[in-house]
Amino acid sequence: MNRWRLTNLCVFTLFYCAFFFIAGCSVKVPKEAVVGVSEELAEMRTVNISNVRYNLLFEIPKERANNVEGILSLTFDVKKRTHIVLDFKQGDSSVISVTVNGKPGKYVFENEHIILSSRQILKGENQVNIKFHAGDQSLNRREDLLYTLLVPDRARTLFPCFDQPDIKSKYSLSLEIPAGWEAVANGQTVQRDTIKQNDSQYIVFSETEPIPTYLFSFVVGKMNKITKAQDGRKVSIYHRESAKDKIAQCDEIFSQIFSALRWMEDYTNVKYPFTKYDIIIIPGFQYGGMEHMGATLYSDKTMFLSDNPTIAEKLARAELVAHETAHMWFGDYVTMKWFDEVWTKEVFANWFAKRMVAPLFPEVNHQLNFLNSYFPAAYAEDRTAGATPVRQELDNLNNAGLVYGNIIYDKAPIVMDKLVRMVGEDNFKKGIREYLENYSYGNATWNDLINILDKFFDKDLKQWSHVWINEAGMPRITATISGDSTVWKTDDPMGRGLFWEQPLSYKIENSYLLPNVDGKGYGYFMLDRETSEYLLGKFADYRFSNTYKDTSVVYNDLARCSLLITLYENLLHNNLDPVSFCNALTKYVPYEDNPLILSRALSYLSDVFVSYIYENGSSFNDGGMPAKIEQTLLNMFENRERMEDRLLAFRTFYGICSSREGVNLLYSIWKDPGSFKAVKLGERELTNLSYAVLLRLPEIYNEVKTIQVQRITNPDRKAEFNYILPSLSGSKEVRDSVFQSLLLDKNRQVEPWTQMSLGFLNHYSRQESSLEYIKPGLDILEEIQRSGDIFFPTGWLRALLSGHHSERAAGIVQEFLDTHKNYPPMLKSKILQQSDHLFREKRSSTFVGGEEVDHLQNKK
């Protein structure tokens, strides 16, 4: 593509402007061309359009306020002459000129689409050239950094395209960027020229393999680059880090990348299917990672670990690398046909990720890690009135972002694991290889995989799959001893009569039936009062020692974690006293030796304290529980032998500390971290500690602002700190102004920072003063969905609501739902998921153990 056209097309634009308008009026708007990208439009295009190639040029100015200009040369074949509908969300004014097959384009702009007249379309090959102002929404522009993030339907915010996953296309990209900036994209750099006239550079990238629009990507800005070669391939890491200890972690990141690539090639018998594998580590990135082939994006907070990282943090980084690498085969190489099955790429990525990291961490019980990672997170949504099926109906891609959540990331791999166990690992591997061979560089559905696996299994996989994949919710399971037999009862809390087929394990111990001791069963395992009390007693008496002998199943790590999860779920279902639970855990956690289980137990202790003890303590006979919890944690971070255990206890302590003595201790540690010998506090830990101290001592705001910013070495992290800090002000007037600012899109550009600020504004210690934020925070949710990325609606709601635990807060949410009867169903589900705790805690404030209330039926 020739660069000169950026300026010289202006003449043609002026000449044909009037003609475009008059001729365009005769173009008929197809009924499928509604706002967004409808499933009907996508299907119409899929059957008619093929062999698509995009040749794109973007001119990126140094000044953030200036437009990014673009030129598209699009070629494609059609089977039938008809109107061609291109997606472009930016609006008619952003279209500068259009030519179709060498002639001025006859088109109309309607409902976010450029609709080309069928009279200009040829049977066979066509070429469309469009000059346009690129949209900013998905460019993620900062002063010296820009990165595209086009999943799931955001390519149309950037350039005119066929924005659907089953029109896979080849991309050629050229960029004009400021001198001194780096650029990375899906393809290899094949040309780089200096343009002295405007102090810029012109970069050309090689054509890609066929990929969907949501995977097209480029990143430009001030970055450093490290390259390493291994196994006959080169991988580059682009980053903006300045701390030497963090940059040194790139060696470990490289090792994990190369390990993941080897593992996937061996398992699938398919060599890495793309031109290159580079990654970009971005400060404030809104996801953990994004699998753009050749230009995979990662969050700096996950990739660059803090001082003294926990085993969970080490696993999280390795699993993230493995997850994004698995996507190169599942998602990039073979892509879902429509975003209702986006879960099919995520289930492979998460299931394979756990398998890939196992050889890297031989000291970890990986079945325990699977249980601990996926089951609690899946239950967090599946137990709520907003529970959704794994596969959700989706009629338009403008709602595709709402499909994402814990169900597809956490429940789906649990279901996949059950499927693998049913068909057998060897048969599964054979089926996967056939699946990849059949649909290489193409698209496939879940049923395509099930049809392949069906021949390896004598049961009806489709019926089994229907319940687990197409239906919402989870079973309620009870077990009783009847003579020499165990009687299982599985029922559907939603009253649909569904049966979730799965093997269930148990152990009878001292006449008590303990369910799901292997951690493989999925559902709410409802305990009777006597069994709950027995288990709480076993946890309270737990003492880990190589010489201590106890035959209880609680001394098996996997069973202990599974039973801990079961107890917590019973508490949330109003079937267990919160004070009894906390009392048992304060006696148990000092002796837990497995760091994964300890982290889980401490998170439960913190959650129950905040949700039930802190807010509702006056209605419980808590026996001084807050002081007990603080003292337990204090003793742990001062006396535990292992640094990781001390760190976990310290983080929990500063997250829930409320006593004057405890707060004074936190302040002294923050003020003079060198005197604190129990835990080595790095920059990130000290920043988090400064937030915790400010929540409790707002009068030292200026002191924290002065001291802590000097401790932060990286400009991006300084910007984050300065953005978040006002939300911690002791002035209600300042906090109100921060909240009002967050209602403006321009102030929400770095979504993780926004979520932290909103979370601090609605911190559980500020519930009374932040109640007034709930309604306007809900009122703006539809705009949050339109302007934000896929996880932002959930993140916004979590930050807005998770700190609230009062009946008044529940009432505000209920009133919003009652007055918005026609609210978008998928967005309503997000509200129900993130407000679930409000209604559970409202019931639990008058605990009547053992009386299960069907929250799902009440709220559906």
Q: Which residues contact 249 (CB under 8 A, 6 or more apart)?
A: 303, 304, 305
Average pLDDT for 791-820: 98
Residue located via tokens 């687990």:
468
Q: Which of 24, 8, 3, 154 is nearest to 92 (CA)?
A: 24
Q: Which residues contact 411 (CB under 8 A, 6 or more apart)?
A: 374, 378, 381, 382, 390, 522
Enter the tokens of residue 457.
């299994």
pLDDT tens for residues 73-95? 999 999 999 999 999 999 999 99
Q: Which residues contact 255 (CB under 8 A, 6 or more apart)?
A: none
Give the DSSP letter of residue 111.
T
**Structural Rg of the chain based on CA atoms:** 28
Separation of alpha carbons 303 and 284, rounded Å? 12
pLDDT, residue 484, reads: 82
Burial 457-473 (b: 16+ CB within 10 A, else e): beeebeebbebbbebbb
pLDDT at 727 over 60: yes
φ/ψ of residue 123, rounded to 5: -70, 130
Enter the tokens of residue 36.
């967004």
pLDDT, residue 535, reads: 98
Question: Please, what is the average pLDDT of the chain?
Answer: 93
Residue 221's identity, in one-letter code, is G
Residue 380's identity, in one-letter code, is A
Average pLDDT for 486-512: 95
pLDDT at 16 over 50: no
- Where residue 621 falls among pLDDT bands split at 50, 70, 90? very low
Average pLDDT for 399-408: 98
Alpha carbon separation from 681 to 308, 309, 695 (Å, rounded): 8, 11, 19
Average pLDDT for 471-491: 93
pLDDT at 10 over 80: no
Enter the tokens of residue 421.
């166990």
Separation of alpha carbons 20 and 820, rounded Å? 43
Note whether 115 and 27 are within 8 A (CB): yes
Average pLDDT for 156-175: 99
Q: Which of 81, 77, 108 is nearest to 95 (CA)?
A: 108
Separation of alpha carbons 112 and 131, rounded Å? 16
Separation of alpha carbons 125 and 101, rounded Å? 9
Strands of the sheet containing 524-525, edge to edge, are 485-491, 476-482, 524-525
pLDDT, residue 482, reads: 84
| CA-CA-CA-CA torsion sign (717, 721, 723, 724) | positive
pLDDT, residue 551, reads: 84
Average pLDDT for 257-276: 98
φ/ψ of residue 397, rounded to 5: -70, -15
pLDDT, residue 546, reads: 55
Q: Which of 856, 88, 204, 71 is nearest to 475 (CA)?
A: 856
Tally of helices (H runs) and strands (E runs) in the chain: 33, 27
Average pLDDT for 775-780: 99
This prediction's pTM: 0.94
pLDDT, residue 609, reads: 96
Note whether 193 and 183 are within 8 A (CB): no
Beta strands, E only, 578-652:
none
pLDDT tens for residues 288-319? 999 999 999 999 999 999 989 999 999 999 99
Q: Could you tell me whether strands 170-178 and 200-205 are parallel, antiparallel, or unpaired per DSSP bridges?
A: antiparallel
Separation of alpha carbons 611 and 605, rounded Å? 10
Residue located via tokens 């321009």:
746
pLDDT, residue 624, reads: 87
pLDDT at 17 over 80: no
pLDDT at 27 over 90: no
- Where residue 618 falls among pLDDT bands split at 50, 70, 90? very low
What DSSP string describes 766-809?
A: GHHHHGGGHHHHHHTHHHHHHHS-TTHHHHHHHHHHTT--SHHH
pLDDT tens for residues 532-566? 999 999 999 998 765 566 789 999 999 999 999 99
pLDDT at 619 over 70: no
Average pLDDT for 271-291: 98
Average pLDDT for 279-283: 98
Calculated CA dihedral for residues 732, 738, 741, 746, nearest 10 degrees: 180
Q: Which of 405, 406, 404, 403 is nearest to 378 (CA)?
A: 406
Q: Which of 419, 427, 433 is nearest to 267 (CA)?
A: 433
pLDDT, residue 842, reads: 62
Residue located via tokens 């009068």:
699
Q: Could you tell me whether strands 476-482 and 170-178 are parallel, antiparallel, or unpaired per DSSP bridges?
A: unpaired
Strands of the sheet containing 224-230, edge to edge, are 224-230, 233-239, 277-282, 296-299, 289-290
pLDDT, residue 843, reads: 58
Separation of alpha carbons 55 and 77, rounded Å? 15
3-state secondary structure 707-743: HHHHHCCCHHHHHHHHHHHHHHCCCHHHHHHHHHHHC
Average pLDDT for 357-361: 98
Average pLDDT for 31-49: 97
Alpha carbon separation from 403 to 330, 385, 449, 648 (Å, rounded): 18, 16, 21, 33
3-state secondary structure 813-826: HHHHHHCCCCCCHH
Separation of alpha carbons 59 and 45, rounded Å? 30
Share of the chain above pLDDT 90, in %: 90
Neighbours of 452 (CB within 10 A): 18
pLDDT tens for residues 114-145? 999 999 999 999 999 999 999 999 999 999 99
Separation of alpha carbons 363 and 357, rounded Å? 11
